[in-house]
Structure 1
Amino acid sequence: MTDVPAVSTFSASGEDAITRTIELNIDPSNTQNIAPSDFLEIYEIERTVAAIVEGNFKRIALQFPDELLCHSVPIYRLLKSKAGEGHDIYVLADTSYGSCCVDEVAAQHVDADLIVHYGHACLSQCVPETYPRLNATLSVVYVFGKKPIDVDDCIDQLGRCLTTQLQQDTTSNSNNRPTVLLRYDVGYSCRADVIAHRLQNELQSLNTRVLHDPLPTRLDPKTTVQSPQTFEQTGAESDEDSFTNVIIAYIGGESLNLTNLLMTHSHCEVYAYDPSTRSAHLQSHRTNKLLMRRFAMVQRARDADVFGILIGTLGVTSYLPLIAHVRKLLARAQKKSYTISVGKLNPAKLANFMEIECFVLIACPENSIIDSKEFLRPIVTPFELEVALQAEGTWSGRYVLDFEKILAGDSENDIGATTEDNGDDPDQPTFSLVTGKYRQAKRYGTGGNETLTEETSAALTLRNQDGALSKLADSAAALFLHSRSYQGLEAKIGEDSPSVLEQGRSGIARGYSDDHL
């Protein structure tokens, strides 16, 4: 047990606050209990050094998630000693947004020409040229780590589950050859080839093909990263009935990656093997429940008139066109929108924007779905916004997270058509499935082709010579401020005399010194 200092809890001693011992409960599964002798193999030190030397990179940024920061110093020392002189190495201790994305913005703070990304990665395509200030020659090396897995048990558990499912599918539909797509957490990519080969042999008697695409470990400028294979790439999309012959085998524990997989592949049966519990189960039975939760968010978005567009990434390709796309949709539907960049999200940050009724998050697929009850306002994805802006509010169950697919879809034209159809009667009330009552929607702007980026600062508020608010324009924030009973401190310009400057408190917040009082 840690010795507790004899100083009282309410003591004003600043030294006690600094020297106090804090016990940390670190999850062993996150750090993998790596011994110093295993760093070379698990974190692929030799491969990383070879990439640094061959590419002659001068400034290297090491990006770690929070749970792997405790390993940053040993890895830094190993790379520094093996790479030799002429290579400056920096550790990125915090990421601007999600740790699964390559933080190109933080890397440019040290003018890095190479990023070594450690731990879990979403493998979202980064295109630096979409952000002019980024270095177009930035390269990325992925080091996923090597999570332990019993391959024999994995093949045995998944083989039995898949055999049973495939036998049922063969009985009901014998025309199409069944397909198994192998997906996995990136930490198990080191054994994926072996698992795919053995799983193919296990299911060979059922005339089943096992598809598996190796994950990229290196990203060079002007190259594209192919996302893991989906059922659209198997040729099964030509016939909707053939969806029954596509089964997904996932290796990994409960995560956002698995949740997104279930939602974006709702027509497929998904079996997941968890190496930590050594068990395999059918996971697709949760798909309907997950989609219904998101549909509830869509209904709350339908009742909103003021939206906040949250910037959750600055490096994923097509994020700028997607922001422009969302602004255009909201302007066409005569909704008010504000673009906000707050870094990592938390309820306290978003609670500051009380006038906003719903947020639209532009982030990588793994960070797009926020399903926390702690947030005051709903947070939806761009695809969910498209569904919410439809006049009928219908949803086929199809779910899209990829930026390119959203931009390539024809949902924009559909929304434009439904909005124009309702333009004959702008005062027609709509029924809310959230409150169970009819509501009158507020309309901002003209609803034409004007975009929010064309508005000037004068469109927000107009003030008189005394600085007081004299007129409210087409601004949701100004209207909300006007409706509040407390609108901030009164300026009283020229009425109060200037205050005398005094010495404030000093020291640590827990033990301020009040000797001057």
Structure 2
Amino acid sequence: MSQAPALSTHQEADQFQYSQIEEKRIERYYLGEYSDLKQRIIQFYDLDELKTKLQEKDNDGRLKYKNITLQFPDSLIADSSIVLSYLQESLVTNEDCSTKSYPDVEEIGCKGCVDCDKRDKNSKSQDSDKQAIWILADTAYSSCCIDEVASGHVNGDVVVHFGDACLNPIDKLNALYVFGKPHLNAEKIIERVEELCLEDDKVVLMSDTPYSYNLYSIYRELKPKYPNLAYADVDFDLQRENMEVIGKWSQPQDEDSIAFANRRIFGLVDEISNYKLFHITLPADPRLLFLSTNFSSVEIFDCKENCTVLGPFPSLMKRYKHMHVGRTAGTIGILINTLSLANTKIMLNTVIKAIRAAGKKHYIFVVGKPNVAKLANFDPIDIWCILGCGQSGIVIDNVGDYYKPIITPYELQLALKPEVSWTGRWVTDFMEVIENGEFDLGNDEDTENDIVERHKDDAPEFDAVTGKFSTFSRPLRQLKHLDVEVIENQDETALVKKFSSNLAIQSTVSTSAKALQERSWTGLGSDFKDLEEYGAALEEGRNGIARDYGL
């Protein structure tokens, strides 16, 4: 090469072409046919009733809700601007609440101390009858749950939740649920039920919460032809003092019903397991897996395409495999996927005690919404136990994207039992797992030496997934205090080298040292450590415009 290659090439303006971004049309199939979009959205969300609720005052004549947060799922976020505009026109709002993106530090930080010159100003702002409205553009965890974390960033007094909801109890904030009343092609549904079901079949009609208000009319239409037909409606008895549903519809009082998850099923004449399920709308994977384990068969109707969905659906047999992985896992990662559900702390403490009593190690992780990239950073974890909402807050890995299996507390309970057991059920409710579960929690007075003695003579455990024996399934069976001291006059990596060269440190099994030993990549240049020659021949690279490069 006689001269250095050109690092840049002269380019004219006409060599670049920019395509204009086309405006994407938002498809609101759930609204049906309409002539005025704003009026249709006002009717869809019952905004007049919501406006009246937000204008309520307490006994002192002050507004109950001053900082109002609106929570939309991704499928309904396009309606948020119209909803916000209508509420701002009706409520007593601040002049700049539509452009203000975050509260001032003084508003959320000043406590109005006695000797502070801002006390009068702060008290006036708190007593003012002004309301600020905020849109939560993204949820911290599951979209069906109340996002107390995001609302707390603006000191929210109430969360107005739009769309499908799990109605799980919350502890801190007030919550208003607006399900919406979407358009439903009842004729298509009736036609599809008649094609799939015989007259003597036992069928339950069910849908997500927004479409549930249509089910009673469809039920009455089909009941004369199908005497064993039943339907599920929203269980409004789940409401607490700090929860209320806007646009709540009436339910029949003359029919018996039973509670099932967050629904009430009317018209049952037999056990639920003997019924087929006809579900309107495609539920989230955790919800779908739960329903498939309780009904004899499941048919899904897609309201957008007006046809049934054939799958693929989550497999319970894969959960059975993951349960076996949990039996021989030495290190369990507890993944917190909710911070607002009641009983989360009780469930967390129960899981920790059970893992410790089984002689296994655990770590607690709060990473927001879990994804493959986040969880891949923690290689020493053998299996994840996720604590989340049973409707959409549990990760179901259908295609094997995640590097390590993810199980629920109920499946972990089965994995920690001395003998293999499988019930075929899939329980996600925290209280049911705590009250009816069979966790071996050990004794609260157990010391580390007690755990050592309990698992002292444990033989290697057979791994049914790999077909090999595992000696690291209970690393705490030799647990003792670590007294590792860094020797003077050694570099900072000496401790790491000491850990990585021994799997047992002072009679203690170290899963971290085991992970270090099994790593094939130890840093830059480690790929060439076995090669005798380093470097490569210098070659001339490409030049010109990058878009003209040939492949």
TM-score of the two chains, using structure 2 as the length reference: 0.68
TM-superposed deviation, 1:337: 0.6
TM-superposed deviation, 1:315: 0.7
Amino acid at match of 2:394: S
Choose which of 254, 275, 278 in structure 1 pairs with 2:306: 278
Alignment of 1:161-310 (within 5 A): 161-164=196-199, 166=201, 180-203=203-226, 206=227, 208=228, 210-214=230-234, 216=236, 221=241, 227-229=261-263, 242-243=271-272, 245-253=274-282, 255-256=284-285, 259-266=288-295, 268-279=296-307, 290-310=315-335
Amino acid at match of 1:256: D
Looking at structure 2, the residues matched to 382 and 217 of structure 1 have their Cα atoms a distance apart, in angstroms, of 26
Looking at structure 2, the residues matched to 218 and 59 of structure 1 have their Cα atoms a distance apart, in angstroms, of 25
Aligned to 2:419: 392
Looking at structure 2, the residues matched to 296 and 323 of structure 1 have their Cα atoms a distance apart, in angstroms, of 23
TM-superposed deviation, 1:367: 2.1
Looking at structure 2, the residues matched to 10 and 311 of structure 1 have their Cα atoms a distance apart, in angstroms, of 54
The 10-residue stretch of structure 1 (75-84 or 433-442) with the greater mean CA deviation from structure 2: 433-442
- Asked whether the 8 Å contact 1:49–1:82 carries over to 2, the reply is yes
TM-superposed deviation, 1:245: 4.1
Choose which of 3, 21, 40 in structure 1 pairs with 2:42: 40
Looking at structure 1, the residues matched to 484 and 10 of structure 2 have their Cα atoms a distance apart, in angstroms, of 48
Q: Hey, which of these two has a bigger chunk of helix by percent? A: 1
Amino acid at match of 2:344: Y
Aligned to 1:429: 460
Looking at structure 1, the residues matched to 244 and 419 of structure 2 have their Cα atoms a distance apart, in angstroms, of 38
Q: Is 1:444 aligned with 2:475? A: yes
Looking at structure 2, the residues matched to 361 and 433 of structure 1 have their Cα atoms a distance apart, in angstroms, of 23
TM-superposition CA deviations, 1:293-333 (whole Å, max 9, x none) = 21122222223211110010001111111111111111111
Aligned to 2:119: none
Alignment CA distance shift 1:385-1:113 (3 Å): same
SS in 2 for 1:320: helix
Alignment CA distance shift 1:273-1:477 (3 Å): same
Alignment CA distance shift 1:415-1:150 (3 Å): farther
Alignment of 1:362-511 (within 5 A): 362-365=387-390, 366-371=392-397, 372-413=399-440, 426-446=457-477, 462-464=485-487, 469-470=494-495, 475-477=510-512, 479-481=514-516, 484=519
- Asked whether the 8 Å contact 1:146–1:188 carries over to 2, the reply is yes
Looking at structure 1, the residues matched to 240 and 31 of structure 2 have their Cα atoms a distance apart, in angstroms, of 29
TM-superposition CA deviations, 1:67-124 (whole Å, max 9, x none) = 3333222211111111234221011112111222110111111111111112232322
TM-superposed deviation, 1:27: 7.1
TM-superposed deviation, 1:344: 0.8
Aligned to 1:504: none
Looking at structure 1, the residues matched to 10 and 373 of structure 2 have their Cα atoms a distance apart, in angstroms, of 27
Alignment CA distance shift 1:43-1:393 (3 Å): same
- Asked whether the 8 Å contact 2:209–2:234 carries over to 1, the reply is no
- Asked whether the 8 Å contact 1:181–1:249 carries over to 2, the reply is yes
Amino acid at match of 1:260: L
CA radius of gyration, larger in: 2
Aligned to 2:105: none
TM-superposition CA deviations, 1:186-220 (whole Å, max 9, x none) = 231332332233343443xx3x3624333549955
Looking at structure 1, the residues matched to 30 and 87 of structure 2 have their Cα atoms a distance apart, in angstroms, of 19
Q: Is 1:359 aligned with 2:384? A: yes
Q: Percent identity?
A: 29
Choose which of 127, 133, 137 in structure 2 pairs with 1:93: 137
User: What CA RMSD, in Å, does the superposition of the two structures yield over aligned residues?
Assistant: 4.1
- Asked whether the 8 Å contact 2:337–2:386 carries over to 1, the reply is yes
Alignment of 1:46-195 (within 5 A): 46-54=48-56, 56=63, 57-85=65-93, 86-128=130-172, 138-159=173-194, 161-164=196-199, 166=201, 180-195=203-218
TM-superposition CA deviations, 1:430-484 (whole Å, max 9, x none) = 3222222233234333599xxxxxx9xx859654556555465655335534665
The 10-residue stretch of structure 1 (407-416 or 318-327) with the greater mean CA deviation from structure 2: 407-416
- Asked whether the 8 Å contact 1:158–1:280 carries over to 2, the reply is no
The 10-residue stretch of structure 1 (218-227 or 269-278) with the greater mean CA deviation from structure 2: 218-227
SS in 2 for 1:148: coil
The 10-residue stretch of structure 1 (348-357 or 20-29) with the greater mean CA deviation from structure 2: 20-29
Alignment CA distance shift 1:160-1:360 (3 Å): same
- Asked whether the 8 Å contact 2:413–2:437 carries over to 1, the reply is no
Looking at structure 2, the residues matched to 459 and 44 of structure 1 have their Cα atoms a distance apart, in angstroms, of 62
Aligned to 1:169: none
Looking at structure 1, the residues matched to 384 and 309 of structure 2 have their Cα atoms a distance apart, in angstroms, of 35
TM-score of the two chains, using structure 1 as the length reference: 0.72
Looking at structure 1, the residues matched to 386 and 380 of structure 2 have their Cα atoms a distance apart, in angstroms, of 17
TM-superposition CA deviations, 1:125-154 (whole Å, max 9, x none) = 2233xxxxxxxxx22112223332111332
SS in 1 for 2:183: coil
Looking at structure 2, the residues matched to 234 and 447 of structure 1 have their Cα atoms a distance apart, in angstroms, of 54
- Asked whether the 8 Å contact 1:212–1:229 carries over to 2, the reply is yes
Looking at structure 1, the residues matched to 137 and 483 of structure 2 have their Cα atoms a distance apart, in angstroms, of 39
- Asked whether the 8 Å contact 1:181–1:230 carries over to 2, the reply is no
The 10-residue stretch of structure 1 (227-236 or 39-48) with the greater mean CA deviation from structure 2: 227-236
Structure 1, unpaired ranges of 5+? 1-7, 129-137, 167-177, 237-241, 449-454, 490-517
Amino acid at match of 1:272: I
